[in-house]
Amino acid sequence: MKTFIFDPIDPSALQYAKEKLNVVTWTDKEIDNYSLAEAVIVRTFKMTKEVIDQMPNLKIIAKHGVGVDNIDLDYAKSKGIRVTNTPQANMHSVSELVIALALNCARKISLSQRIIEKGISKNSPVELAGFELQDKTLGLIGLGRIGSLVGHKLNAAFNMNVLVFDPYTTQSKCHEEGFTKYESLDDLLKESDIVSISVPLTKDTENLISARELSLMKKNAILINTARGKVINEQDLYHALQNGEIFGAALDVFAEEPISKDHPLLSCDNFIGTPHNGANTVDALIRMGTGAVDEIVRVMRNMKALSGIA
């Protein structure tokens, strides 16, 4: 199957793709000739209606990763084009980044580095005092693959009490996992020391966290978002951080990506940013690349894809 790979993928995954498929890569001249594509692998490349319309032979859009907000799903569905993703491939990488960001923010590791680079006259400066995660409360917004792993890992490591806000999950699922389901996002925000967001970007989750929600959080709480940038109102977060309304925030995702070096959040001492690095591990990159290829092979053989988005 003629497969266009629009964004760079891991070299071993690319080798795997070449063994299984007729591949056109992002460096080939042919990549601009959309009309030849029967399958595509995309990471951030936008599969808009206009792009899809230039691909009359397209049978499958294989997302390398989880979030499919760069794909016009309704239009692909209306044209009978399969859309798949690799939901299991990066969940450990993203959940580990959440934990790294929680520890970094709570112990001010990035700020410590910046301060010692400027030169210090005494150890343990008071402005670098952090807090422990041990026995604290974690609020998960979204209890899917990533949220659930974050909950289990932080509970196992630090005995954190885990609260969940996810209207699409059941009380009994939360109970089985050892977590507590909250029907009210406001209540979860009021009680959590660490709030971690793992929801898809939808019209319900856009601006889910704005000034009002931030004002409900504890003064010593940390907000972490590895989902999608537009779930948080960045301007409101900037004001909350500047005014010390919360202890800190760590974002891996931004409304506009890649994040500009002039982004106002970068001027806040209590802010940590990473450039959409959640799935950026060797382990996840190989699994996402080979997983996307496997889905195309399945569709090529008229088999059911493992993931069915559309």
**Interface with ligand NAD, residue 229, by CB under 6 A:** no
Select the span of 42-50, 124-132, 143-151, 288-296 touching ligand NAD (CB under 6 A). Answer: 143-151
**Interface with ligand NAD, residue 63, by CB under 6 A:** no
Closest alpha carbon to 292 in 97, 71, 57: 71
Which one from 228, 245, 287, 295 is the annotated catalytic residue? Answer: 228
Among 139, 278, 289, 291, binds ligand NAD (CB under 6 A): 278
Closest distance to ligand NAD from the beta carbon of 195 (Å):
12
**Interface with ligand NAD, residue 140, by CB under 6 A:** no
Q: Which residue is nearest to ligand NAD (CB)?
A: 144
Number of H helices, E strands in the chain: 11, 12
Structure tokens at 64: 């390398």
Residue 276 annotated among the catalytic residues of the structure: yes
Which one from 43, 92, 276, 287 is the annotated catalytic residue? Answer: 276
Structure tokens at 264: 């106002």
**Interface with ligand NAD, residue 98, by CB under 6 A:** no
Residue 257 annotated among the catalytic residues of the structure: yes
**Interface with ligand NAD, residue 276, by CB under 6 A:** yes
Among 144, 248, 273, 291, binds ligand NAD (CB under 6 A): 144
Closest alpha carbon to 238 in 210, 219, 274: 210
Rg of the chain over Cα atoms, rounded to whole angstroms, equals: 21
Q: Are 119 and 150 in contact (CB under 8 A)?
A: no
**Interface with ligand NAD, residue 89, by CB under 6 A:** no
Cα angle at 99 between 94 and 105, to 5 degrees?
Answer: 120
Spell out, one character per residue from 194 to 223, where the chain touches ligand NAD: x when CB under 6 A holds, - when not: ----xxx---xx------------------
Name 247's Cβ contacts closer than 8 Å, sequence gap at least 6.
105, 106, 131, 218, 219, 220, 221, 222, 270
The residue among 46 and 114 lying less far from ligand NAD, judged by its C-beta, is 46
How many CA atoms lie within 13 Å of 288's alpha carbon, on the beta-carbon side?
A: 29
The residue among 37 and 287 lying less far from ligand NAD, judged by its C-beta, is 287
Select the span of 10-18, 31-39, 215-223, 275-283 touching ligand NAD (CB under 6 A). Answer: 275-283
Select the span of 33-41, 49-57, 163-171, 301-309 touching ligand NAD (CB under 6 A). Answer: 163-171
Backbone angles phi, psi at 4, to 5 degrees: -90, 125
Distance CA 136, CA 133 (A): 5
Sheet strands side by side (includes 222-225):
180-181, 161-165, 137-141, 194-197, 222-225, 248-251, 271-273
**Interface with ligand NAD, residue 83, by CB under 6 A:** no
The residues binding ligand NAD (CB under 6 A) are 65-67, 87, 90-91, 94, 141-147, 165-169, 198-200, 204-205, 226-228, 252-253, 276, 278-279
Q: Give catalytic residues, as residue numbers.
A: 228, 257, 276
